[in-house]
Chains A and B, each alone.
Chain A
Amino acid sequence: MAFDLSAIGSQFLVGLSRSMILFIVTAGLSFVLGVLRVPNIAHGSLYMIGAFSAFSITKLVPGAEGFWLALVLAPLVVAAVSFIAERALFCHLYQREHLMLLLFTFALSLILGDLVKITWGAEYKSIMAPKLFDGSVSIFGASIPKYNFFLLLIGPLVAVGLWLFTSKTKLGKIARAAAVDREMVGAVGINVSWVFAFAFVFGCFMAGLGGALMAPTISITLGMDHNLIIEGFLIVTIGGLGNMWGALVGSLIFGLTQAFGVLFWPQFAIVFPYTAVVIVLLLRPRGILKSVW
């Protein structure tokens, strides 16, 4: 094969940086899945809203400040949207069968998808990363864009933050307890409905953060929700439903197989991660790491 090592190396790094975004998004998905036991189909739409909000914020506040502001505010916008949806509608369904909750999130994704179209229109949008991230850096002879390098730093930071949050704070512990045994959590006098609300909003916040981080690397369009959510589900499934580290492992598998697919067989690059998922599911149907279910 005529691939030189630096091409492989930089493709590896690009794949790794994409995995980081996938991880941030799917960690949120996995969190909701773990606590509420609902595969949130609207997660992709919230990710899309994150990207579009980031676009609007950078339009309002030009320059580097706008970008950093977008990274902070866009996830909060998404969290607000999901909070409204949860308290107004979703929280009344917790007693119903599982399928209804799933279909509710699908209905929500349909509605949010069209609301995005109404608010932002159907044209392609794009965001420029701050000047700071122009150009590329080279690591061991492989060069990657500076922005991807930034993502490589952000990913582990978020992972550590999530770990600290879920294992060291009271709220995180309550959420984890609710994932394992919700009756017990209720029995010790904690309002489970609000724990669910918090988990849902927190998961959606992560979707918004992922969308805002992703925005400078892609063209922001309608339909980005559909592509993402299916990848997200597969990632959390192969990782182990509800397991946050599983989301990390799944994201790495997905992002890296996709990146190497681009290198080896560009036309069918999209087939590689799906094949990897099928292989994992055949070998370990319940995912690589332990599911919280």
Chain B
Amino acid sequence: MLKSLSLKSVLFFAVLLVLLLILPPVLPRFYTYILTLIFVTALLAMSLNMVVGHGGMFQFHHGVFYGVGAYAFALLLFKAHMPLWFGFMAAPVIAAFAGFLIGWFCVRLTSLYFAMLQISLGSLLWAIVFRWYALTNGDDGIHGVPLPSFLSSVSNAYYFILFFFVLCLVVMYLIHRSPFGMTLQAIRDNPARCSAVGINVRRHQLMAIVIATFFAGVAGVLFVVLEKSVFPDLLFWVLSLEIFIMCLLGGWFTFAGPILGAAITVALRTFVGIYTEYWTLILGVLLILLIFFLPEGVMGFLVQKFGKARHREGAPARG
């Protein structure tokens, strides 16, 4: 399975990983924290890209599943006093279950209607979390989620999150390269033909949503591990669009693009945020520049410019 990776890129990732492993003792705490936040956000963006970039579905409210994972984890630990490992196992499954429920309705529709149904179902979940004070503390959120003491230092949380981030990436790559992943991309490029050769399009799409929402749930758990708190904004549609932009920024049709997109977005938000409170203005301008000049994203552009032809994984659907 891994033979599709060239020696050069394996070497590149190995060096990168070693670099990431030795960084925390050297870096100031704040930068370690930012890096960790990038991992969490990147995992979220990657999970969205499985559905959007590789699956071609208009998953417009992906943030909901991130929020469901985070809330499930926080509530299991905070209210039910479950051990860490149980919360860690259960929360992504709960997120995937939410993904199954919402996806089951959504895959019946296409394009904009798919998006709208998902936004309304997702907003319903958001409204419940926002209003159900007795369970979720409403818009105050839950702060001080009890985590084992080994996760309290930023650098330990860093290693913990990095481990699961890399693990998820490997699994996602294997899925991406598996017959299932290939079928999914074929469905994206031509659903009618896939259906004609006997592929159950809806089932594959639903499966992709469930897998992606599972990973979004993992990202939610990791967010809580890092921040020790949850709040309803995690389920708000603005966040969903932001992750959407990360995928675009990095490049839809590449595997690792969303990581780059997430890194750029988080880093910009942090460092631009130091100088100005008008961060969204800058994001908006950046997005417009991107739409006009780099419609395939930074990674897509790099691949196009420097990569060999075999790296192009799919032509964007011009509509």
- One of B34-42, B67-75, B107-115 contacting the partner: B107-115
Q: Which residues of B contact A110 (CB under 8 A)?
A: 280-281, 283-284, 287
How long is the Cα–Cα vector from A39 to B296 in the complex, in angstroms?
21
Given known pairs A98-B319, A107-B291, the reply for A117 and B278 (CB within 8 Å) is yes
**A271 in contact with B124 (CB, 8 Å):** yes
Q: Which of A39, A97, A233, A270 is in CB contact (< 8 Å) with B131?
A: A270
B141 within 8 A of A: no
A277 within 8 A of B: yes
**A111 in contact with B281 (CB, 8 Å):** yes
In angstroms, how far is the closest chain B Cβ from the Cβ of A125? Answer: 19
Interface mask (B67-108 → A, CB under 8 Å = 1, otherwise 0): 000000000000000000000000000000000000001001
**B295 in contact with A237 (CB, 8 Å):** no
Q: Which of B116, B117, B128, B295 is in CB contact (< 8 Å) with A271?
A: B128
- One of A1-9, A136-144, A195-203, A279-287 contacting the partner: A279-287
Interface mask (B262-279 → A, CB under 8 Å = 1, otherwise 0): 000000000000000110
**B278 in contact with A230 (CB, 8 Å):** no
B238 within 8 A of A: yes
Smallest Cβ-Cβ distance to A115: which chain B residue:
B281
Given known pairs A241-B112, A278-B124, the reply for A103 and B281 (CB within 8 Å) is no
In B273-319, the 8 Å CB interface with A consists of 277-278, 280-281, 283-285, 287-288, 291-292, 295, 316-319
How long is the Cα–Cα vector from A114 to B279 in the complex, in angstroms?
8
**A103 in contact with B121 (CB, 8 Å):** no
A190 within 8 A of B: no
**B284 in contact with A233 (CB, 8 Å):** no
**B318 in contact with A97 (CB, 8 Å):** yes
Q: Which residues of A contact B292 (CB under 8 A)?
A: 89, 92-93
Smallest Cβ-Cβ distance to B109: which chain A residue:
A285
**A285 in contact with B295 (CB, 8 Å):** no
A268 within 8 A of B: yes
How long is the Cα–Cα vector from A237 to B130 in the complex, in angstroms?
24
**B317 in contact with A233 (CB, 8 Å):** no
B170 within 8 A of A: no
**B120 in contact with A234 (CB, 8 Å):** yes
- Dominant SS among interface residues on chain B: helix
**B108 in contact with A285 (CB, 8 Å):** yes
In angstroms, how far is the closest chain A Cβ from the Cβ of B296? Answer: 11
Smallest Cβ-Cβ distance to A111: which chain B residue:
B284
Interface mask (B121-133 → A, CB under 8 Å = 1, otherwise 0): 1011001101111
How long is the Cα–Cα vector from A114 to B237 in the complex, in angstroms?
18
Q: In the complex, which of the residues A92, A96, A230, A282 has the most CB atoms of chain B within 10 Å of its own CB atom?
A: A230
In B40-74, the 8 Å CB interface with A consists of none
**A107 in contact with B105 (CB, 8 Å):** no
Q: Which of A109, A270, A278 is in CB contact (< 8 Å) with B121?
A: A278
How long is the Cα–Cα vector from A249 to B317 in the complex, in angstroms?
34
**A93 in contact with B116 (CB, 8 Å):** no
Interface mask (A37-70 → B, CB under 8 Å = 1, otherwise 0): 0010100000000000000000000000000000
Chain A contact-residue range equals 35 or more
A226 within 8 A of B: yes
In angstroms, how far is the closest chain A Cβ from the Cβ of B104? Answer: 11
B168 within 8 A of A: no
Q: Which residues of B contact A278 (CB under 8 A)?
A: 117, 120-121, 124
Given known pairs A97-B318, A230-B237, A271-B128, the reply for A282 and B283 (CB within 8 Å) is no
**B241 in contact with A270 (CB, 8 Å):** no
Q: Which of B117, B131, B284 is in CB contact (< 8 Å) with A285?
A: B117
Q: Which of A100, A233, A282 is in CB contact (< 8 Å) with B119?
A: A233
In angstroms, how far is the closest chain B Cβ from the Cβ of A47? Answer: 16
How long is the Cα–Cα vector from A258 to B244 in the complex, in angstroms?
30
B221 within 8 A of A: no
B248 within 8 A of A: yes
**A282 in contact with B319 (CB, 8 Å):** no
**A100 in contact with B295 (CB, 8 Å):** yes
**A107 in contact with B131 (CB, 8 Å):** no
Given known pairs A110-B284, A230-B119, A281-B117, the reply for A274 and B316 (CB within 8 Å) is no
How long is the Cα–Cα vector from A89 to B284 in the complex, in angstroms?
13
Interface mask (A94-129 → B, CB under 8 Å = 1, otherwise 0): 001110100110111111011101100000000000
Smallest Cβ-Cβ distance to B317: which chain A residue:
A97
Residues of B within 8 A of A (CB): 105, 108-109, 112-113, 116-117, 119-121, 123-124, 127-128, 130-133, 236-238, 241, 244-245, 248, 277-278, 280-281, 283-285, 287-288, 291-292, 295, 316-319
Given contact pairs A271-B124, A285-B117, enumerate 6 new A-B contacts (beta carbons under 8 Å): A93-B292, A114-B284, A226-B236, A226-B238, A234-B120, A270-B131
10 closest A-B pairs (Cβ-Cβ)? A110-B284, A114-B281, A111-B284, A107-B287, A237-B116, A274-B124, A107-B284, A277-B120, A110-B280, A97-B319
24 CB contacts below 8 A, A to B, read A39-B112, A96-B291, A103-B244, A103-B287, A104-B291, A106-B245, A106-B287, A107-B291, A111-B280, A111-B284, A113-B280, A114-B278, A115-B281, A230-B123, A234-B116, A234-B119, A237-B113, A268-B128, A270-B131, A271-B127, A275-B124, A277-B120, A282-B105, A285-B117
